[in-house]
């Protein structure tokens, strides 16, 4: 009598809590052991690259927000740096530091979401609540500067939309201290938790050779022991002036990826603190002028032709534009009239600036980089985030392509899953930190 061994095909997702509605896996099981896996993507395809080819360069920023929407500021910075490289312009020192500060805040919120959500899917609901509390604190900082929490569209070609608000450094220091407390609490709750440790240790393994062969970067690669970080390997902005370490693991398993992300959050907080120490002063510390008028009143005066004293008055803008007035403009934007919108007071007070504004926002008259192509990488929360842009000399990008860090990781996911148990799919997929907006673009 012969016995027949059969395997079972099981659909996991897209209607599965751990698949987030945007990924489908077909796993081949022999009992509880995974013999094969097929990953199907494309459930959130938004045609990002083709959409960017239909609008002007400055109009691409809202689309970049929706790539990795958990750390959108890094997407903004990456796209802006690529266009600035194409244009051959440099931005003010203060703007560089502001970009780094906001990028690192965004990186921490991303890692908090990844670790918290993975822990929740393994049953550690308390950790999830603690980390979301810390993320909320940091999102309050993001909202204070950008006027939004998630889809921020904050960075501009040639600088940033607005300067830091007065007292921001002190408020950020308090929230960084609170975030560190949460990281210590999380370490106490998870690192020595036998259930969490056993679920993560030795699962989702990948070797350094395989990770490099697949083109994997970020915490997933660093967990294998390869210390590749774009901020160190190809420094941009002011990262070469900052003292920080690149955490690495040794085994390339889920536990090492947890350790790498936890330490990366501490390194990002260190970077933010150093930026506050080094950032050159700007007029944001100066007191407001005696006469402050609401933005609506400024517009009404301009419509009536009463522009004589507008440049002498301080405009009270709403949070989405605060810090972008003439008083701060030179500190946070490059002196390039062909690239940067003039301050609002000038737009409403003289015809030259009004024409300058319209020339930059009208189709056929916007920012026109020279004919050429460029690739610029930054260190995203999941790894190397690169923008490749081709210019044909018009105000619309001829081609835009994105190197999304979680795409090669998803390609390697079956290799990480085969040989593990069915229950190990959850922590392994969580450690990928797949963001569908970035993956499917």
345: its two tokens? 């007071």
CB burial class (10 A; 0-12, 13-18, 19+) of residue 267? Answer: buried
195: its two tokens? 């259930």
Helix and strand numbers, DSSP H then E, in the chain: 18, 10
Q: What span, in angstroms and rounded, lies between the C-alpha atoms of 216 and 196?
A: 25
Q: What span, in angstroms and rounded, lies between the C-alpha atoms of 34 and 402?
A: 32
Q: How far is CA 84 from CA 5, 11, 148, 169, in A?
A: 60, 45, 24, 28
Please give the pLDDT value at position 115: 95
CB burial class (10 A; 0-12, 13-18, 19+) of residue 436? Answer: buried
CATH 1.10.645.10 in the chain, residue ranges: 58-282+368-440
What is the chain's pLDDT, residue by residue, as a tens digit (441 residues)? 566 777 889 898 788 888 888 899 999 999 899 999 999 998 888 899 999 999 999 999 999 999 999 999 999 999 999 999 999 999 999 999 999 999 999 999 999 999 999 999 998 899 999 999 999 999 999 999 998 988 999 999 999 998 998 899 999 999 999 999 999 999 999 998 999 999 999 999 999 999 999 999 999 999 999 999 999 999 999 999 999 999 999 999 999 999 999 999 999 999 999 999 999 987 554 444 557 778 778 778 777 877 777 666 777 766 666 666 777 888 888 888 889 988 877 887 788 888 998 989 898 888 999 999 999 999 999 999 999 999 999 999 999 999 999 999 999 999 999 999 999 999 999 999 999 889 988
Residues of 340-353 as b/e, b for ≥16 C-beta within 10 angstroms?
bbbbbbbbbbbeeb
Q: What span, in angstroms and rounded, lies between the C-alpha atoms of 441 and 439?
A: 6
169: its two tokens? 């450094």
Name the 3-class secondary structure at 333. strand
The CATH class for the domain spanning 58-282+368-440 reads: mainly alpha
Q: What span, in angstroms and rounded, lies between the C-alpha atoms of 165 and 162?
A: 9
Please give the pLDDT value at position 230: 96
Name the 3-class secondary structure at 9. strand
Please give the pLDDT value at position 288: 47
Q: What span, in angstroms and rounded, lies between the C-alpha atoms of 200 and 255?
A: 5
Please give the pLDDT value at position 345: 77
- Please choose, from the candidates 83, 75, 298, 271, the residue with its C-alpha nearest in 3D space to the C-alpha of residue 176: 271
Angle at Cα 195 formed by Cα 134 and Cα 419, nearest 5°?
A: 110
- Please choose, from the candidates 408, 398, 320, the residue with its C-alpha nearest in 3D space to the C-alpha of residue 143: 320
Which neighbouring-strand residues pair with 373? Answer: 390
Euclidean distance between the first and the last CA atom of the chain, given in angstroms as a whole number: 54
pTM for the whole structure: 0.92
118: its two tokens? 């993975």
Q: What span, in angstroms and rounded, lies between the C-alpha atoms of 87 and 218?
A: 28
Q: What span, in angstroms and rounded, lies between the C-alpha atoms of 308 and 46?
A: 47
């Amino acid at each position: 009598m012969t016995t027949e061994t059969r395997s079972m095909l099981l659909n996991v997702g897209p209607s599965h809590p751990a698949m987030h509605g945007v990924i489908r896996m077909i796993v081949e099981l022999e009992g509880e052991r995974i013999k094969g896996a097929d990953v199907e993507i494309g459930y959130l395809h938004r045609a990002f690259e083709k959409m960017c080819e239909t609008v002007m360069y400055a109009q691409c920023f809202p689309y970049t927000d929706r790539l990795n929407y958990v750390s959108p500021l890094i997407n903004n910075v990456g796209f802006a740096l690529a266009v600035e490289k194409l244009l051959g312009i440099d931005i003010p020192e203060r703007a560089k530091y502001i970009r780094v500060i906001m990028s690192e805040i965004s990186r921490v919120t991303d890692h908090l979401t990844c670790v918290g959500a993975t822990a929740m899917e393994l049953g550690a609901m308390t950790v999830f609540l603690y980390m979301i509390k810390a993320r909320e604190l940091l999102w309050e900082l993001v909202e204070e500067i950008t006027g939004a929490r998630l889809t921020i569209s904050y960075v501009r070609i040639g600088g940033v939309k607005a300067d830091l608000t007065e007292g921001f450094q002190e408020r950020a220091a308090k929230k960084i201290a609170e975030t560190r407390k949460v990281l210590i609490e999380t370490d106490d709750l998870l690192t020595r938790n036998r259930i969490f440790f056993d679920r993560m240790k030795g699962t989702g393994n990948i070797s350094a050779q395989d990770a490099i062969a697949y083109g994997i970067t970020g915490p997933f690669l660093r967990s294998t022991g390869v210390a590749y970080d774009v901020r160190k390997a190809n420094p941009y902005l002011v990262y070469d002036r900052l003292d920080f370490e690149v955490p690495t693991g040794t085994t390339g398993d889920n536990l090492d990826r947890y350790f790498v992300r936890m330490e990366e959050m501490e390194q990002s907080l260190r970077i933010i603190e150093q930026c506050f120490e080094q950032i050159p002063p700007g007029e944001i510390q100066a007191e407001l002028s005696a006469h402050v008028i609401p933005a609506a009143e400024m517009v009404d005066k301009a419509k009536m032709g009463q522009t004589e004293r507008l440049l002498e008055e301080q405009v009270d803008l709403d949070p989405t534009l605060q810090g972008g007035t003439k008083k701060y403009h030179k500190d946070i934007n490059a002196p390039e009239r062909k690239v940067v919108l003039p301050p609002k007071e000038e737009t409403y007070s003289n015809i030259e600036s009004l024409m300058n504004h319209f020339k930059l926002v009208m189709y056929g008259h916007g920012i026109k980089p020279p004919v050429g192509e460029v690739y610029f990488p930054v260190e995203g929360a999941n790894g190397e985030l690169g923008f490749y842009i081709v210019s044909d000399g018009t105000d619309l990008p001829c081609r835009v392509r994105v190197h999304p860090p979680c795409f090669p990781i998803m390609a390697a996911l079956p290799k990480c899953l085969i040989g593990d148990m069915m229950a190990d799919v959850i922590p392994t997929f969580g450690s990928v930190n797949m963001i569908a907006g970035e993956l499917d673009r």
